[in-house]
């Protein structure tokens, strides 16, 4: 979200300590939500449909000593089982969910506010919102209602297909497929000044997606028993090994667990009607299931697919 939108929502009382329903008049709410609709539709990136093989894949690497070898970008055991998949066209958000819009969502749906900590940027404007799996599902559905285009969490295949620029083989969804700390993604060292920076500090992937290789894990709609699947790189983990096929298998945390009461957003999680919640360093990047390209749909942007190219050799980050 750009700063002009943040300023608008702040001025209309839709972020910070404002009250969404009691203080803000109806016409002001309408104005703010119309601005959010415009912003949401403009930041959708069109992913033309196609066929690819999901899961892990092999690329050529160069090591620190200059040796070359072909290796999988992730072990098969840490990826979904490979299969040929055909997808129709769809749109995906260019950015991970921002705290400003997440605050609007929480108020609009009568949910408790999120915890704020300026020292750690928890809940701060310009930073990615952290949310549970259940909240991410609800957030995308609500954003679809606001924008007038049905939205949801991506499937794991949709996420991988978009991150891989429609089935190509970059290990990371950075601007050039490489993992270059300080050049195209942030440092996950907590002692680094570049740890957990604001959204979109670095250039997007060739498709136009920001922070798919760092930032927060991103929830998908994939459910395997009691496990929920998230994708991407996280600043609280090791982005070097969190290549595109990587998957984070999130297990439920019972509300009776001793650690549950120590979390900063327990009041918000208590409002979720379930005995357990899925709480990791994750966010939402929503998908709109619309197959028409921007020329027909009237919204979003489409990348220049002919201009997308990746290196033939990748640098091992470790």
pLDDT digit string (tens) for the chain, length 318 residues: 555 555 455 444 444 333 333 334 565 667 888 999 999 999 999 999 999 999 999 999 998 888 999 999 999 999 999 999 999 999 999 999 999 999 999 999 999 999 998 888 889 999 999 999 999 999 999 999 999 999 999 999 999 999 999 999 999 999 999 999 989 998 776 656 666 778 999 999 999 999 999 989 999 999 999 999 999 998 778 889 999 999 999 999 999 999 999 999 999 999 999 999 999 999 999 999 999 999 999 999 999 999 999 999 999 987
Residue 295 lies in a domain: no
What is the pTM (predicted TM-score) of this model? 0.91
Q: Are 72 and 187 in contact (CB under 8 A)?
A: no
Residue 25 lies in a domain: yes
Residue 311 lies in a domain: no
CATH code for the domain of 199: 3.90.1580.10
Q: Are 276 and 31 in contact (CB under 8 A)?
A: no
Spacing of C-alpha 6 from chain mean position: 19
The owner of tokens 């500090």 is 201
Residue 302 lies in a domain: no
Which value, to the nearest 10 degrees, does the dihedral of the CA atoms of residues 192, 197, 200, 206 take?
30
pLDDT digits (tens, 9 = 90+) for 88-133: 999 999 999 999 999 999 999 999 999 998 888 889 999 999 999 9
pLDDT digits (tens, 9 = 90+) for 13-46: 444 333 333 334 565 667 888 999 999 999 999 9
Domain membership of residue 17 as a residue range:
3-289
Q: Cα–Cα distance between 211 and 202 in angstroms, integer?
A: 8
Residue 253 lies in a domain: yes
Residue 309 lies in a domain: no
Q: Are 188 and 238 in contact (CB under 8 A)?
A: yes
E strand or H helix that includes residue 86: strand 84-87
Contacts of 81 (CB under 8 A, 6+ apart): 55
Domain count, the chain: 1
Residue 298 lies in a domain: no
Q: Are 217 and 282 in contact (CB under 8 A)?
A: yes
Bridge-based pairing of strands 58-62 and 314-315 is parallel
Residue 176 lies in a domain: yes
């Amino acid at each position: 979200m750009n700063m002009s939108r943040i300023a608008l929502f702040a001025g209309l009382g839709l972020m910070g300590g404002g009250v969404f329903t009691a203080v803000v008049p109806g016409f002001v709410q309408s104005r703010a939500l119309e601005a959010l609709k415009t912003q949401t539709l403009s930041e959708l990136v069109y992913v033309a449909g196609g066929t690819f093989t999901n899961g892990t894949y092999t690329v050529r690497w160069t090591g620190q000593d200059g040796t070359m070898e072909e290796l999988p970008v992730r072990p098969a055991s840490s990826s979904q089982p490979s299969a040929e998949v055909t997808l129709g066209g769809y749109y995906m958000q260019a950015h991970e969910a921002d705290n400003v819009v997440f605050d609007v969502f929480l108020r609009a749906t009568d949910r408790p506010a999120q915890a704020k900590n300026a020292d750690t940027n928890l809940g701060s404007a310009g930073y990615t919102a952290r949310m549970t799996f259940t909240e991410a599902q609800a957030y995308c559905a609500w954003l679809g209602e606001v924008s007038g285009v049905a939205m949801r969490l991506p499937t794991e295949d949709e996420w991988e297909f978009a991150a891989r620029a429609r089935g190509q083989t970059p290990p990371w969804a950075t601007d050039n497929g490489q993992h270059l700390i300080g050049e195209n993604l942030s440092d996950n060292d907590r002692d680094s000044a570049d740890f957990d920076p604001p959204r979109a500090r670095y250039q997007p992937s060739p498709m136009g997606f920001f922070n798919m290789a760092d930032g927060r894990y991103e929830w998908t709609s994939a459910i395997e028993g009691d496990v929920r699947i998230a994708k991407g790189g996280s600043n609280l983990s090791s982005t070097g090994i969190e290549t595109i096929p990587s998957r984070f298998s999130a297990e439920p945390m019972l509300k009776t667990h001793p650690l549950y009461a120590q979390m900063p957003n327990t009041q918000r999680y208590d409002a979720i009607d379930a005995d357990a919640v899925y709480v990791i360093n994750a966010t939402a990047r929503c998908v709109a299931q619309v197959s028409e390209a921007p020329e027909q749909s009237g919204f979003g942007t489409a990348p220049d697919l002919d201009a997308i190219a990746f290196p033939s050799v990748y640098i091992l980050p470790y």
